[in-house]
Amino acid sequence: MDKDLNAAGLRKLIRSGEWTTPTSGAATGYVQANLVMLPEEAAFEFLLFCVRNPKPCPILDVLEPGEVEPSIAPGADLRVDLPKYRVFRNGTIEKEGGDVMHIFQDNMVSFLLGCSFSFENALLAAGVPVRNIAEGKNVSMYVTTRKCVPAGRFSSPLVVSMRPMTPENAVRATQVSTRFHLTHGAPVHLGSPEELGINDLSNPDFGDPVEILPGEIPVFWACGVTSTLAAVSSPLPLVITHAPGHMFVSDLRDEDLTLL
Amino acid sequence: MDKDLNAAGLRKLIRSGEWTTPTSGAATGYVQANLVMLPEEAAFEFLLFCVRNPKPCPILDVLEPGEVEPSIAPGADLRVDLPKYRVFRNGTIEKEGGDVMHIFQDNMVSFLLGCSFSFENALLAAGVPVRNIAEGKNVSMYVTTRKCVPAGRFSSPLVVSMRPMTPENAVRATQVSTRFHLTHGAPVHLGSPEELGINDLSNPDFGDPVEILPGEIPVFWACGVTSTLAAVSSPLPLVITHAPGHMFVSDLRDEDLTLL
C-alpha cells in the first residue's frame, strides 16, 4: 500500500523512476514540502519573502548554495527525489519533467516550504472529513486579491486552498491546524469568498472543484503555490520548482512540526 | 512613569538623548528586539542562521538593504532610536555609543530579533514571579556547550537566560512562554545546568547573578545574545548591534506575537 511506505522507501521508488505520480496520500504521516531552487544572487530576497509571509511560505529547510541533501532527509538528493519538476527560464516555464540532475547549477539555493498535506492527515485523525480526499481530487486553489508582503524583486498575490465544512467542523479544523504552524497553520479566512476576490468556487485557479453541500461554508488556508508564483514573479535566468502535487517527501513526521 | 510610556513616546526620548539607559521594564506591553546590522553580502547567510535557530534568533523584522525604518515601528529610525549601540570591525568591538547615524552604511541589512522581555510580562501577569525583575537586576545569561546549527560563515554556541522557579511555577511558565514563539518560546532546559555545560549558576557570562531559593530549580530559555555572538563569529568589516539590555522598542504589542 502506498500509504504504508515510509519516506525513504517512497523516495527510492521516485529516484528509480517507478513512481512518477502525485505524492498526496503516500507515505502517510511524513511531512511533504514545496520546492523552490533559484540562483544564490536572489536567495536573500527570496528567503526574506518567505520570512515576511510565513503562512503561505513556512520554511522547513534552506540549503547552502550548491547543496542538494536537505537536513530533514539525510541521504536524499533534491535533484532526483521528486516525481516531477518544473523548470522556468526568465520567468517562463520551459519544461516539466522527471529530474533536474543536469539542470541544477552549483550556484543555486534550494528552499523546502511546508505543505497542507500534513494538517489534512491531522484533520482526518480528528474526525473532520476532507472533501478533496473523499472525492479523490486535488484540493481547490484560488489566486486571491490579497497581496503578500513583497521582498526585493519578489511579490505575489496570496494563493489559498479551500475545503468546505460544516461550521462545527470549521471550528475543529481551526483548532487542529493551528498546531501546524509550519504547514500553513490556522485558516486565513472562512465563509465569504468574495472578500478574497473569489467569485466562483466551482472554478478554481489550480486543482479541482469539489462539491459544497448545503449548510457548509468554505474554509481557506494559505497555500504553498504562493511560493512558486513569487519565485517566478521576477524573470530570473533559472528557477526550478516541484510540479504541482508532486512534492518532496521528508523524513520529518507530521507531529514533529507541532508547536504544542 | 517609565512603564506607562508608549513605544513611540519612549523612542522619542531615546532619539533626543534624554533616555540612555536599559529598556527593561519601560513601555510595558510593547515588544522589544535585539538588533543586528551587517553587510548585504553576508545577509543571506545570517538570515539562514536565524531561520535554522529560531529559538535563540526569532525573526521579528528584516529590512531591505540600506533601509532603516522597520515595518513593526513606522516612523522609527534604527540608526538613532536605540539608547546604546555596539560597533564591531573585523570581529572586534570598536566602540559603544549613543547612535550610529554616521556609521551605518547603505549596503547594510538590519535584523530585529525577539527578546525575552515580552514573555516576562506575561509571566508576571500569570502570577509567576520573575527573580531578576524582583531584584531589579539584569537576567542571568550563560554560554552553553550546545552548538547552534551553523549557516555559511556564521556559528555560535547557544546562549541561555535563567530564571529560578518552584517546579509548579516552572510548569506554568512553560505553558505561558510556549505561546510566545517569536520571543524564544518554551524553555530549552530545566533542572540540570551541568547538562548545558554550566558549572556555576552564581557566575553568569552576561547579566547579573540572582538568588536561588531552597526548592527552586533553574529554568533556561534560549537567549537573543546568541545572535550577537553569531554575527561577530566571522570577521566582517562592520557589524552593528544593540548594547546588552538597550533594546529597540517596537510598536508591536506582546499579545500580537502569540500563536494561540
Alpha carbon distance A223, A227 (integer Å): 8
Shortest CA distance to A81 belongs to which of A34, A21, A12? A12
- CATH number of residue A144's parent domain: 3.30.2040.10
- B123 lies in the same domain as B221: yes
Instruction: Give chain B's contact residues with A (Cβ, < 8 Å).
Output: 40, 43-44, 47-48, 51-52, 59, 62, 64, 71, 109, 149, 151-152, 178, 181, 185, 259-260
3-state secondary structure of A173: helix
Q: Which of B52, B109, B181 sits opposite A259 (nearest CB)?
A: B181
How much is the pLDDT for B24?
Answer: 82
β-bridge pairing A59-62 and B189-190: unpaired
- Nearest-Cα distance to chain B for A46, in Å, is 9
How much is the pLDDT for A260?
Answer: 52
Which residues share a beta bridge with B86?
A: B96, B241
Nearest CA in chain A to B55: A259
- Nearest-Cα distance to chain B for A48, in Å, is 7
Ranges of chain A whose pLDDT falls below 50: 1
- Nearest-Cα distance to chain B for A62, in Å, is 7
The number of distinct structural domains making up chain A is: 2
Provide, as residue numbers in chain A, all residues whose Cβ is less than 8 Å from the Cβ of B62.
Answer: 48, 51-52
Alpha carbon distance B44, A106 (integer Å): 16
- Nearest-Cα distance to chain B for A70, in Å, is 12
- B126 lies in the same domain as B103: no
Q: Which of A47, A71, A149 sits opposite B44 (nearest CB)?
A: A47
Question: CB of A121 within 8 A of CB of A130?
Answer: no
Q: Which range marks the domain in which residue B78 is found? A: 2-116+232-253
Cβ atoms within 10 A of the Cβ of B225, count? 24
Cell numbers 500534513 label which residue? A118
Residue in A41, A48, A183 to test binding to B, most B beta-carbons within 10 Å:
A48
Determine, yes or no, domain membership for A259.
no
Q: Which of A44, A151, A185 sits opposite B44 (nearest CB)?
A: A44
Determine, yes or no, domain membership for B58.
yes
Q: Which of A51, A151, A181 sits opposite B259 (nearest CB)?
A: A181
Q: Which of A59, A152, A181 sits opposite B51 (nearest CB)?
A: A59
- CATH number of residue B86's parent domain: 3.40.1640.10
Cell numbers 516612523 label which residue? B75
Can you give the three-state secondary structure of A198-237, one letter per residue? CCCCCCCCECCCCCCCCCCEEEEEECCHHHHHHHCCCCCC
- A131 lies in the same domain as A177: yes
- B95 lies in the same domain as B130: no
Cross-chain residue pair A64–B259, CB shorter than 8 Å: no
Nearest CA in chain A to B48: A62
Alpha carbon distance B135, B125 (integer Å): 17
Cross-chain residue pair A178–B52, CB shorter than 8 Å: no
Cross-chain residue pair A40–B44, CB shorter than 8 Å: yes
Cβ atoms within 10 A of the Cβ of A68, count? 18
Cross-chain residue pair A181–B43, CB shorter than 8 Å: no
Nearest CA in chain B to A174: B260
Residue type, B127: G
Cell numbers representing residue A147 in the block = 497581496
- A159 lies in the same domain as A205: yes
How much is the pLDDT for A107?
Answer: 96
- A243 lies in the same domain as A222: no
Residue in A38, A41, A44, A61 to test binding to B, most B beta-carbons within 10 Å:
A44
C-alpha distances in Å from residue A104, one per residue of A46, A178, B29, B144: 18, 35, 48, 39
Determine, yes or no, domain membership for A260.
no
Determine, yes or no, domain membership for A188.
yes
Shortest CA distance to A217 belongs to which of A139, A165, A161, A152? A165
Cross-chain residue pair A64–B260, CB shorter than 8 Å: no
- Nearest-Cα distance to chain B for A100, in Å, is 24
Alpha carbon distance B142, B225 (integer Å): 10
Determine, yes or no, domain membership for B192.
yes
- A160 lies in the same domain as A89: no
- Nearest-Cα distance to chain B for A52, in Å, is 8
Residue type, A79: R
Determine, yes or no, domain membership for B77.
yes
β-bridge pairing A248-253 and A189-190: unpaired
A193 Cβ contact list (under 8 Å, min separation 6): A142, A162, A199, A201, A218, A220
Shortest CA distance to B63 belongs to which of B101, B35, B91? B35
Which residues share a beta bridge with B147?
A: B157
Determine, yes or no, domain membership for A18.
yes
- Nearest-Cα distance to chain B for A210, in Å, is 30
Beta strand residue intervals within B98-149, DSSP E = 108-114, 140-147
- A129 lies in the same domain as A221: yes
Cell numbers representing residue A142 in the block = 484560488
Cross-chain residue pair A43–B44, CB shorter than 8 Å: yes
> Residue B63 gets which letter from DSSP?
P
Alpha carbon distance A190, A198 (integer Å): 12
- A37 lies in the same domain as A62: yes
Cross-chain residue pair B51–A52, CB shorter than 8 Å: no
How much is the pLDDT for A257?
Answer: 77
Alpha carbon distance A210, B68 (integer Å): 47
Question: CB of A19 within 8 A of CB of A84?
Answer: no
Shortest CA distance to A113 belongs to which of A22, A13, A242? A242
Instruction: Give chain A's contact residues with B (Cβ, < 8 Å).
Output: 40, 43-44, 47-48, 51-52, 59, 62, 64, 71, 109, 149, 151-152, 178, 181, 185, 259-260
Q: From the first residue on, what is the mean pLDDT of each consecutive set of 10 residues in chain B (260 residues)?
A: 80 95 87 96 96 93 96 96 96 94 97 89 92 91 97 97 96 90 87 95 95 97 95 96 93 78
Cell numbers 520546492 label which residue? A35
Question: CB of B230 within 8 A of CB of B155?
Answer: yes
Cross-chain residue pair B48–A48, CB shorter than 8 Å: no
Nearest CA in chain B to A62: B48
Q: At what angle do helices B43-52 and A43-52 cross, to 10 degrees?
A: 40
Q: What is the ipTM of this complex?
A: 0.81
Where do the H-state alpha helices sit in B188-231? 225-231
How much is the pLDDT for A5?
Answer: 85
Determine, yes or no, domain membership for A172.
yes
- A141 lies in the same domain as A214: yes
How much is the pLDDT for B2?
Answer: 59
Shortest CA distance to B180 belongs to which of B7, B28, B50, B58? B58
- A30 lies in the same domain as A136: no
- B139 lies in the same domain as B13: no
Which residues share a beta bridge with B89?
A: B92
